[in-house]
Structure 1
Amino acid sequence: MKKHRLTLILGGLLVIAAIAALFIPLRTALVFYEENTENIEAFLPLEAGDTFQIIFTHSIHLTDVVEKYEVMDTYEIRQNEIIYEEFGIGMPSNAEKGATFSHENGRYHVKDLDNYFASMNIRNGKAVSEHRLVWNSSTDNTSENEKMVWFNEYFEPGAWFTLKVEKLSLWDYWKGVKISD
């Protein structure tokens, strides 16, 4: 009788532990939340030190703008570079203090940025819907390991999102849409 009771208790504890493990945040990801909600539209598994880029076509001068980011161990997003071809609305004409401004191969670079964000609001272009997400698929950070997806593969044109780096539970992973190449 005692053995049966102990087996039931241990089995119950095991079931509770398994269920709890589903909801404990374990894996870090760049999470795309639907505008002003906690609804996860999609996520990209990333770790501290990983980099990603958001590339969009500027709606006025119709050339690509590349924004480079790094995932910090504080779960912040650090913007470290902007690359673009044309001056215009929303494009910097110089570098802020501590950053460098250069012109290389026909493109303007604002490097050494130190902009930190707990979250970022971003819109998938509506008039010119050519946003892309680029990331490295390995730790050696070579361009041959870069992966890219078009936002339109995952999001409606014109949709708004809040991006955050957060730990997700297995449950979030299973019910969300994982961004992959």
Structure 2
Amino acid sequence: MVRKIGLRYFKKTFLFAFILSIIIFLPFQRVLVIEDAKTNKLLAYLPLHRNKDTFEISYTHSIHLSNVVETYTVLKDGTIRQIELTYEDTAIGMPSNAEKGEIFKLEDGKYHLLNMRRDMPSIYMRTAQVVGTHRIISNNHELDLAEVIPPGSLILLTEQRLALWELWKGVNIVGRST
């Protein structure tokens, strides 16, 4: 009788531990990961949702010192697609016209490059060291990258699925620190 109770208790405990392990370690949450490009250390992440997988990178252009906003969407296969670019000056490093299928317009003193379909597997980016800041904006939340990343750092942005334990060790940039 004692053996049956002990075996039943062991089975229930094992099943509970197994299910808990799956919940904690199985990658399920689709996120835009910001990691150190040299060490692959998770620095921050942005949860992606089915209809809200668009984000912006906003920064001050280092030469003409005006604001630039790049808009991206993350496709279901993890591809990052640039869909829009907004800026104030067509000086060095900024486009002065549109490529095939894109729309280039001037509105309210800003240049807009629309209908972009520039796909990439990831984005390598060096954060501002001297001039301006880099910010990531999504779902009306904004993160100044200098808050979590040292100036001049090389970072990598990719789409990944993270498990609960990975989510707990990063910084969720939509307002909750984990």
Residue 21 of structure 1: how far off its partner (Å): 2.1
Residue 81 of structure 1: how far off its partner (Å): 0.4
Alignment RMSD: 1.4
Residue 148 of structure 1: how far off its partner (Å): 1.6
CA offsets, 1:32-90, max 9 Å, x none? Answer: 01113331011111224321110000000000011011122112211100011111222
Q: Does 1:99 align with 2:102?
A: yes
TM-score (norm 1): 0.89
Off by >4 Å, runs of 4+ in structure 1:
none
Q: Does 1:84 align with 2:87?
A: yes
How many residue pairs are counted as aligned between the two chains?
172
Secondary structure of 1:113's aligned partner: coil
Q: Is the contact made by 1:48 and 1:75 (CA closer than 8 Å) also made in structure 2?
A: no
Distance 2:99 2:38 in 1: 30
Corresponding position of 1:57: 60
Cα distance 1:76–1:49, how it changes in 2: closer, same or farther (>3 A)?
farther
Residue 3 of structure 1: how far off its partner (Å): 3.3
Distance 1:107 1:71 in 2: 25
Corresponding position of 1:4: 6
Distance 2:11 2:145 in 1: 49
Matches within 5 A, 1:8-157: 8-50=10-52, 51-136=54-139, 146-157=140-151
Point out where structure 1 has 5 or more consecutive residues left out of the alignment. 137-145
Distance 1:109 1:92 in 2: 10
Relative to structure 2, which stretch is displaced further, 41-50 or 163-172?
Answer: 41-50
Secondary structure of 1:75's aligned partner: coil
Matches within 5 A, 1:156-167: 156-167=150-161
TM-score (norm 2): 0.90
Point out where structure 2 has 5 or more consecutive residues left out of the alignment. none
Identity of aligned residues (%): 37
Secondary structure of 1:155's aligned partner: coil
Secondary structure of 1:19's aligned partner: helix
